[in-house]
């Protein structure tokens, strides 16, 4: 059995059960505090509450609930509150990014590459003169109209930016799998 996480996730898949616990010694459930969350996208928001579990809190969202969450980056805001009217108290706890992954159980197709990998591939195809209209649209959507020959310098700068991000993704993935990256330095004379 998998242990229940004790912090909010950094990423979660739409259509899955989302579950975590929080222990807030300064704001225990036994003292009447309620833990709440608000999930915010650019054009929508969802609010949910944790359930008390002794002095701690448990968050459990069903697949029916999470399947309605739009994929992409969102912000997860948390706070505690207690009392009503004149005795009402509210304390903000934090705000963190949350990447909502697509529900692959119902997807017709899926491009599993990160934004950095998609952009790197599109920029390289433009620089190499083999760009499709989709590659041009991808770069223009993110950076405006830089996809012309006179902007080759800017495209090379963007390529370096995205290549560094892809390299960092690869290193993080390797570390998560328990691999070390060894770098070999070479000097040519």
The residue ranges of every structural domain in the chain are 11-101, 115-174
- Identify the architecture of domain 11-101 in CATH: Sandwich (2.60)
| The total number of residues written for the chain in this structure | 189
How many Å apart are CA 121 and CA 113, to the nearest integer?
10
Mean pLDDT calculated for residue range 98-115: 81
pTM: 0.63
CA torsion angle for 102, 105, 110, 112 (degrees, to 10)?
A: 60
How many Å apart are CA 3 and CA 13, to the nearest integer?
18
Tokens representing 32 are: 């009447």
Confidence of residue 130 (pLDDT cuts 50, 70, 90): confident
How many Å apart are CA 99 and CA 123, to the nearest integer?
24
Asked if the model's pLDDT at residue 54 lies above 80, the reply is yes
What does each C-alpha distance from 14 to 20, 103, 106 come to in angstroms? 15, 5, 10
According to the model, what pLDDT value does residue 181 have? 57
How many Å apart are CA 81 and CA 91, to the nearest integer?
6
Mean pLDDT calculated for residue range 164-184: 77
pLDDT tens sequence across 59-86: 999 999 999 999 888 999 999 999 988 8
């Amino acid at each position: 059995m998998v242990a229940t996480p004790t912090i909010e996730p950094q990423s979660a898949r739409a259509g899955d059960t989302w579950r975590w616990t929080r222990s807030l010694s300064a704001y225990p459930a036994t003292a009447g505090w309620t833990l709440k969350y608000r999930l915010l996208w650019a054009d929508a928001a969802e609010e949910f509450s944790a359930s008390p579990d002794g002095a701690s809190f448990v968050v459990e969202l069903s697949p029916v609930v999470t399947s309605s969450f739009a994929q992409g980056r969102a912000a997860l805001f948390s706070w505690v509150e207690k009392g009503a009217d004149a005795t009402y108290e509210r304390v903000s706890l934090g705000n963190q990014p949350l990447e909502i992954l697509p529900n692959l159980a119902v997807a017709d197709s899926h491009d599993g590459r990160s934004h950095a990998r998609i952009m790197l591939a599109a920029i390289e195809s433009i620089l190499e003169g083999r760009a499709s209209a989709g590659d041009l649209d991808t770069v223009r959507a993110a950076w405006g109209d830089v996809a012309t020959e006179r902007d080759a310098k800017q495209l090379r700068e963007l390529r370096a930016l995205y290549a560094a991000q892809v390299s960092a993704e690869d290193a993080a993935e390797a570390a998560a799998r328990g691999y070390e990256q060894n770098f070999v330095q070479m000097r040519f004379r």
